[in-house]
Amino acid sequence: MTEEIEFILDSTKESMTGSIAHLEKEFLNIRAGKASPAMLGSVYVDYYGSATPLSQVSKISVPDARTITLQPFEKNMLHVIEKAIMVANIGFNPMNNGDVIIISVPALTEERRRDLAKQAKVEAEDAKVGIRNARKDANTEIKKLEKEGTSEDICKTAEDEVQNLTNSFIRKIDELLVVKEAEIMKV
């Protein structure tokens, strides 16, 4: 195969790997009943005028499966952090005892579990769209090379290789979704 086609295949694989990495990150934000610092990953705090991740203004710990505690590095940040958690709209009600913020993670209801499973499916479908877009871009580039004089056989082989990559990445997404759904539905 030509150097250009190798480059197209490598960049396509890189793009598809990026879609998988993004999906895994999104799955971390979908909580499955057990407390985890990752649940607060989307919370940003107004820290002296700039949006700062919660993990950079407080120590996040999980003393048990149903509780998250936040120890702000600066005591005057207690109310700001509390407000940021409320504004993030992630379904938590923080309590402030003057030193730390305590978040009780409620047990998931059956209905909420189903909603989270649907959310996981949506995220997986978005990742599949990303994979298919990478395939489309690669095939477009391969067709350009064919018009520029690259052998039809080489281009067909490259398109087959892109399709094989697509199939393997879509299978990986399906596997990740099955694992996440099982994790969500487990009581």
pLDDT of amino acid 115: 86
pLDDT: which is higher, 121 or 30: 121
pLDDT digits (tens, 9 = 90+) for 63-104: 888 888 999 988 888 888 888 888 877 778 888 888 889 988
Q: Across the chain, what does the average pLDDT equal?
A: 88
Q: What is the average per-residue pLDDT within 47-60? A: 88
Closest CA to 91 of 49, 51, 63, 119: 119
Prediction pTM value: 0.72
Question: What crossing angle do the helices spanning 3-29 and 152-185 adopt, rounded to 10°?
Answer: 10
Can you tell me the distance from the alpha carbon of 167 to that of 162, in angstroms, rounded to the nearest whole number? Answer: 9
Instruction: Say whether pLDDT at 187 is over 70.
Output: no
pLDDT (0 to 100) of residue 32: 66
Cα-only R_g, the chain: 22
Whether the per-residue pLDDT at 175 is higher than 80: the answer is yes
> What is the structure's pLDDT at 13?
94
CA 177 to chain centre: 12
Q: Residue 138 has what pLDDT? A: 94
What average pLDDT does the segment 49-63 reach? Answer: 88
Contact of 64 with 54, CB cutoff 8 Å:
no
Q: Which two tokens stand for residue 78?
A: 């207690």
Report the distance separating Cα 87 and Cα 129, nearest Å.
Answer: 30
Instruction: Give tens-digit pLDDT for 13-48.
Output: 999 999 999 999 888 777 666 777 877 878 889 888
pLDDT band at 133 (very low <50, low <70, confident <90, very high): very high
**Cβ contacts of 81 within 8 Å, gap of 6 or more:** 45, 54, 57, 58, 70, 72, 94, 101
Share above pLDDT 90 across residues of the chain, in percent, rounded to a whole number: 37
To which residue do tokens 């407080």 refer? 58
